[in-house]
Chains A and B, each alone.
Chain A
Amino acid sequence: MSEMNAASAAAVDADSREFLVFSLGDEEYAIDILKVQEIRGYENVTRIANAPDFIKGVTNLRGVIVPIVDLRIKFHFDSVEYGGQTVVIVVNVGERVVGIVVDGVSDVMTLTPEQIKPAPEFGVTLSSDFLSGLGSLEDRMLVLVDIERLLTSDEMALVENVSE
């Protein structure tokens, strides 16, 4: 909870923050760049049986076993393809390392507090709880995802306490 408050508070108060912008389908999303550890290709993922469909499995990241989550499946995108552009953003959330599959990474953006608008109350698939705001950039709109909150949430089933 405090994490979320801190994040949104920071989004409003602090000076400009840097975000990594990635695409899911035609939409543009962004996450706090400080959470990003590295970006790598999608390969060699070992499936885990009986896990939710958006958990693609685990992969070997230099000896560390890292779960891979496909945000496109999680966000109910129709088109889920794995191609040359498909990348995995490895993020550090809490003590954990998780990889998220996205359609592509475009750039790193600096957003000033004025450019970050509060997220509207909506969302069935993506609860506004997991958003830290909407970034408006001329004609573009970036969905700012609070990745830490999202990935450690119960519905992601990545953390032990949600085991059935």
Chain B
Amino acid sequence: MDFSDFYETFFEEAEELLADMERHLLELDLESPDPEQLNAIFRAAHSIKGGAGTFGFDVLQQTTHLFENLLDHTRRGELALRRDIVDTFLETKDMLNDQLDAYRQGGEPDPEAFERICKVLQQIALDEMGQGLEGAGGAAPEATAPQAPAEAPAAEPRPEPPVESVPPAAPAPAEGANLVVALLKVGDKDRELLIEELGHLGEIKGQGGDAERYEVSLATESDRDEIEAVMCFIVEAEQVEVREASAPQPSASAEAEPPIAAPSETASAKTTPPAVVAPAKAADSAKPAAKPAAKPKAAAKGGETTSIRVPVNKVDQIINLVGELIITQSMLDQTVSELDNVSNGALVNGMSLLQRNARDLQESVMSIRMVPMDYVFSRFPRLVRDLAKKLDKDVELVTEGESTELDKSLTERIIDPLTHLVRNSLDHGIESPEAREAAGKPRTGRLTLSAQHQGGNILIEVIDDGAGLNRDKLLAKARENGLSVSDAMSDDEVWQLIFAPGFSTAQEVSDVSGRGVGMDVVKRNIQEMGGHVEILSRPGQGTTTRIVLPLTLAILDGMSIKVGGEVFILPLSAVLESLQPRQEDLYAMAGDDVVLKVRDEYLPVVAVHQALDVAGACTEPTQCIAVIVQGEGRRYALLVDDLLGQQQVVVKNLETNYRKVPGVSAATILGDGSVALILDIAGLHRLNQSKQQVGYEQRRHAPTHHLPQTEKEVEPS
């Protein structure tokens, strides 16, 4: 039976479960842990174990099994939580992640790491409760080849200490009764389905058999009728036989389970007759624990039906189609607006209705791609906790605006830059508790991650209340690195220095940050997403790094400009201002370069008509409009004929049917159905430079007049 189709689902679910687990672990109040949370953590481990067992991921299953047992003790208050125990749990969770990744890549997890984590978990059980973990016999020290668990433990319970001193409460009693479900003459496919269903109902303790009779032993709190009812959805009632496994008699229980897939499990089932070892306690603790475990499970079931997993490309297709609809609608709108309102009243009304519906549709479709920032922020508590510990700092993480939504593709790309900024804040920003105390600040530093919408943008801030950036140090470092700086630079400009490649002011390189690679990468990444980074810093009060991103990449706020007879779009986020250049502010430089002085800043002038060969455009700079734009961290003055206005445009890829065009980032379709090119500012500047270079060469070598290609085409003959 090939499971590979289901693998991906399992991996995704397991990942989500692990993320959940981590969140709960981090939120745990060590003094008085919330039983709901403990249960949630337990359930996560339990579900992963179930899935791992089904798919035959032995190492994962065994690890989760050990983990689950510890968690089980925890949630029943038999194991007091301490910070170091939670740390171990987190480490285990990481290990599970690693194992999951290994399986995902079709490999086997690192056996050494597995062994180590097993020992650690065992140790906790021994130290804290004076007993080993059941099921350890198969998994612990001697399991050097975890992918092929020894048959031995299944055959005979070993008299080894961890196995012998079985804890009174194995997962089985916690889950209720042991049942054996026999499947008679059930095909492979149906059997898998049934086993999966059984997995939902309880914990599969073992399975085996042949097509005639396949037995699954199940620890569940569902009763026989319930199980039969579920099974009957898939097979005939007479194909299913449910009976009680004789739990109180260990030997009987083992016999009742024919060839068993999970040996260590059997060992546990066999040697863990809880009723025998500590009957009263098991019974007592099992009941209350089982109840809360059952309730949220049902809730989760209800939750499943309210969401669907859809491949992103399907969503993108819908978004594209809606984009077309909007374009068609605005084309129609333009036609209708030329009609007489009175005689075409119904049509005009219909059009405005269509417009509203189309916009609503677009908005809701775009919102499908939107995910809350919580998706991003949720990975930071762990990071901050670990880093703070490593750096011996006390840091409190505050997140704000977790529900702010952002395009999924952007959330994925923002994680790395944000991680870097958080690391930086912790490493360089927030001081050590001693230094903070000396500065009259609370010992515990505060790192705030916030997200909010601002117009069509999302504002993500990383705020620390640390020492702030040191202007003098930055300037000194910049000089050392050979950057041209002056003491007259504004604070903003000085802060921007940290984005220069190879720039780091850390006293010494740590493994947290300080290698000087990074901030420039952060900036580049964010610029690639169409956003930009700002830094606000006050000495002694902290630093705020602000990332401004567009909400989505599919739609762009553009400014349409006119050059000659052609319309182009500039990304509005790049436009700073526009002005009419005065002759006295224009300075010619060597060659054909011209710079424009704007508020004491000399900006290279890029004549759009020149870069893009537009005929009939305004060529006299003082007659044109200069649009001051920012691209790749530099500012330029673009010479254009006219500004037409601002509009949202749907970004269309030029490369789908054509290819990359220098100076152009993409295209869009205007309301009249024509195509307009979206300009790439830095590319335009490069284009202009190469043009000037070519022009210069031509004037030098070929005095004959160069006939531009545009003229040739127009000439009729």
Q: Is the CB of B709 within 8 A of A46?
A: no
Q: Is the CB of B657 within 8 A of A46?
A: no
A10–B88 Cα gap in the complex (Å)? 69
A157–B652 Cα gap in the complex (Å)? 20
Q: Is the CB of A65 within 8 A of B716?
A: no
Scan residues 94-117 of chain A and give those whose CB is less than 8 A from a CB of chain B.
96-98
Q: Is A3 an interface residue, CB under 8 A from the partner?
A: no
Q: Is the CB of B713 within 8 A of A67?
A: no
Given A49-B613, A50-B612, A59-B675, verify A64-B657 contact (CB < 8 Å): yes
A97–B423 Cα gap in the complex (Å)? 47
Q: Is the CB of B614 within 8 A of A58?
A: no
Q: Is the CB of A63 within 8 A of B669?
A: yes
Given A47-B566, A58-B675, A73-B713, verify A65-B659 contact (CB < 8 Å): no
Scan residues 640-690 of chain B and give those whose CB is less than 8 A from a CB of chain A.
652-664, 667, 669, 672-677, 687
A62–B675 Cα gap in the complex (Å)? 11
Q: Is the CB of B323 within 8 A of A46?
A: no
Q: Is the CB of A49 within 8 A of B324?
A: no
Q: Is the CB of B661 within 8 A of A50?
A: yes
Q: Is B630 an interface residue, CB under 8 A from the partner?
A: no
* A 122-164 to B, binary, CB cutoff 8 A, 1 in contact else 0: 0000000000000000000000000000000000011110110
B657 contacts across to A, CB distance below 8 A: 64-67, 96-98
Q: Is the CB of B713 within 8 A of A160?
A: no
Q: Is B497 an interface residue, CB under 8 A from the partner?
A: no
| 19 pairs of residues in contact across A and B, judged by CB atoms under 8 Å | A46-B675, A47-B566, A48-B664, A50-B687, A53-B712, A57-B675, A58-B667, A60-B669, A60-B675, A62-B324, A65-B653, A65-B657, A65-B658, A80-B713, A158-B659, A160-B655, A160-B659, A160-B660, A163-B659
Q: Is B627 an interface residue, CB under 8 A from the partner?
A: no
The listed residue with most B CB atoms (<10 A of its CB), out of A58, A78, A162, is A58
A80 contacts across to B, CB distance below 8 A: 713, 716
Q: Is B286 an interface residue, CB under 8 A from the partner?
A: no
Given A67-B657, A96-B657, verify A50-B662 contact (CB < 8 Å): yes
A113–B324 Cα gap in the complex (Å)? 43
Q: Is the CB of B327 within 8 A of A63?
A: yes
Q: Is B194 an interface residue, CB under 8 A from the partner?
A: no
B667 contacts across to A, CB distance below 8 A: 46, 58, 65
Closest 9 A-B residue pairs measured CB to CB? A49-B612, A63-B324, A46-B675, A67-B658, A53-B709, A160-B659, A44-B674, A96-B657, A60-B669
Q: Is the CB of A163 within 8 A of B612?
A: no
Scan residues 603-632 of chain B and give those whose CB is less than 8 A from a CB of chain A.
611-614
**CB within 8 A of B659: which of A62, A73, A159?**
A159
Q: Is the CB of A48 within 8 A of B669?
A: no
Given A49-B611, A65-B658, verify A81-B716 contact (CB < 8 Å): yes
Q: Is the CB of A65 within 8 A of B660?
A: no
Q: Is B717 an interface residue, CB under 8 A from the partner?
A: yes
User: Considering only CB atoms, which chain A residue lies closest to B687 in the complex?
Assistant: A50
Q: Is A2 an interface residue, CB under 8 A from the partner?
A: no
Q: Is the CB of B658 within 8 A of A58?
A: yes
Q: Is B320 an interface residue, CB under 8 A from the partner?
A: yes
User: Considering only CB atoms, which chain B residue lies closest to A56 in the complex?
Assistant: B713
Q: Is the CB of A65 within 8 A of B654?
A: yes
Q: How far is the CB of B99 from chain A (nearest CB, A)?
A: 40
A159 contacts across to B, CB distance below 8 A: 659
Q: Is the CB of A58 within 8 A of B654?
A: yes
A62–B672 Cα gap in the complex (Å)? 12
Task: Beyond the given A46-B566, A53-B712, please list 17 additional residue pairs across the A-B interface where CB-CB is below 8 A.
Answer: A44-B672, A44-B675, A46-B676, A46-B677, A49-B664, A50-B661, A50-B687, A58-B658, A58-B667, A58-B675, A60-B675, A63-B652, A65-B654, A65-B656, A67-B657, A80-B713, A96-B656
Scan residues 13-71 of chain A and give those whose CB is less than 8 A from a CB of chain B.
44, 46-51, 53, 57-60, 62-67
Q: Is the CB of A53 within 8 A of B713?
A: yes
B674 contacts across to A, CB distance below 8 A: 44, 46, 59-60
The listed residue with most A CB atoms (<10 A of its CB), out of B323, B654, B664, B713, is B713
The listed residue with most B CB atoms (<10 A of its CB), out of A50, A80, A160, is A50
Given A58-B658, A65-B657, verify A49-B614 contact (CB < 8 Å): yes
A95–B611 Cα gap in the complex (Å)? 31
The listed residue with most A CB atoms (<10 A of its CB), out of B324, B612, B669, is B669
Given A65-B654, A65-B667, verify A79-B659 contact (CB < 8 Å): no
Q: Is the CB of B713 within 8 A of A64?
A: no
A73 contacts across to B, CB distance below 8 A: 713
Q: Is the CB of B658 within 8 A of A63?
A: no
A158–B661 Cα gap in the complex (Å)? 11
Q: Is the CB of A64 within 8 A of B656?
A: yes
A66 contacts across to B, CB distance below 8 A: 657
Given A46-B674, A63-B324, A65-B675, verify A163-B613 contact (CB < 8 Å): no
A50–B609 Cα gap in the complex (Å)? 12
Given A60-B674, A63-B320, verify A78-B613 contact (CB < 8 Å): no
A133–B533 Cα gap in the complex (Å)? 60
A52–B663 Cα gap in the complex (Å)? 16
B669 contacts across to A, CB distance below 8 A: 60, 63, 65
A60–B655 Cα gap in the complex (Å)? 14
User: Considering only CB atoms, which chain B residue lies closest to A159 in the complex?
Assistant: B659
Q: How far is the CB of A76 from chain B (nearest CB, A)?
A: 11
Q: How far is the CB of A5 from chain B (nearest CB, A)?
A: 26
Given A58-B654, A65-B667, A160-B659, verify A79-B717 contact (CB < 8 Å): yes
Q: Is the CB of B661 within 8 A of A48?
A: yes
A103–B197 Cα gap in the complex (Å)? 67
A67 contacts across to B, CB distance below 8 A: 657-658
Scan residues 279-334 of chain B and give those whose CB is less than 8 A from a CB of chain A.
320, 323-324, 327
A59–B658 Cα gap in the complex (Å)? 11
Q: Is the CB of B659 within 8 A of A49?
A: no
User: Considering only CB atoms, which chain B residue lies closest to A96 in the complex?
Assistant: B657
A163 contacts across to B, CB distance below 8 A: 659-660
Q: How far is the CB of A128 from chain B (nearest CB, A)?
A: 26
The listed residue with most A CB atoms (<10 A of its CB), out of B658, B659, B687, is B658
Q: How far is the CB of A44 from chain B (nearest CB, A)?
A: 5
B659 contacts across to A, CB distance below 8 A: 157-160, 162-163
**CB within 8 A of B323: which of A63, A81, A160?**
A63
A96 contacts across to B, CB distance below 8 A: 656-657
A158 contacts across to B, CB distance below 8 A: 658-659
A79–B664 Cα gap in the complex (Å)? 31
